[in-house]
Copies of this chain bind each other. A is one copy, B any other.
Amino acid sequence: MQTSKRTLLTIVSEATIERFLVDAVKRFGAHGYTIVEARGAGSHGVRTAEEEQDRSIRLEVLCERSVAENILEYIEKNYYRNYAIIGYLSEVEVIRANKF
């Protein structure tokens, strides 16, 4: 099977800023994203997802390495300081690489 390398950017963030994150994903040229509802804990404490303020999302973007890095850099600069948010990159293989 013929596959191509792409980068998967995963972001776990408080849900409040979802629309800003999605805007950034589009602006930096990714062609899609996937979101699932999440909860968890980290340096900003426990987030139980029991109410609006406590909801988290897990956002995945499959794209070229450079796009992923640009999004992550932008998010680090703008949101890491004040929001409960983390991000990481991993290498995956896709088919129909022109989609991503």
Interface residues of chain A, those whose CB is within 8 Å of chain B, are 1, 3, 6, 8, 10, 12, 22, 31-43, 56, 58, 62, 69, 72-73, 76, 80, 86-96, 99
* Selected A-B contacts with CB under 8 Å, 29 pairs: A1-B72, A1-B73, A8-B88, A8-B90, A10-B92, A12-B34, A31-B42, A32-B41, A32-B42, A32-B43, A34-B38, A34-B40, A35-B38, A35-B40, A36-B36, A36-B37, A36-B39, A36-B58, A37-B37, A42-B99, A72-B95, A76-B95, A76-B96, A80-B96, A86-B94, A88-B92, A88-B94, A90-B91, A90-B92
Which residues on the B side are within 8 Å of A92 (C-beta)? 10, 88-90
- Given known pairs A1-B73, A95-B72, A95-B76, the reply for A62 and B39 (CB within 8 Å) is no
CA gap between A70 and B32 in the complex, in Å: 25
CA gap between A69 and B10 in the complex, in Å: 22
